[in-house]
Amino acid sequence: MPVRERREKPRISETPPVPPPPPNLDDYEPIIGRAELGEIRYLTAALKGKTVKMVNSTRCTEVSTTCRAKPRRFSSRPTRKIGSA
């Protein structure tokens, strides 16, 4: 079996690729239509120049270390149907 020669420099880029630009609202026109796009612009006109903060409303779990809510304790007893003795 012939021995392969090693390359002098590996083909690894030193800089990461440029990320794609964020989507523009106009990019959604073929999907939702011009009328709906106009309505979105009308409804959001009052927000122009404002900062909007994203709030996550996911319920906290025991895994979460930042949640201060008390975790629910579940009973190990079997449940009983209503109306049965």
- pTM attached to this predicted model: 0.42
Instruction: Report the alpha-carbon distance of residue 72 to residue 59 in Å, rounded.
Output: 11
CA angle (67 as vertex; 64, 69 as ends), nearest 5:
120
Instruction: Report the alpha-carbon distance of residue 79 to residue 54 in Å, rounded.
Output: 39
Does residue 71 have a pLDDT over 60?
no
Q: Which two tokens stand for residue 19?
A: 């990320």
Ranges of beta strands (E only) in the chain are none
AA identity, residue 23: P
AA identity, residue 7: R
Does residue 16 have a pLDDT over 70?
yes
pLDDT band at 64 (very low <50, low <70, confident <90, very high): low
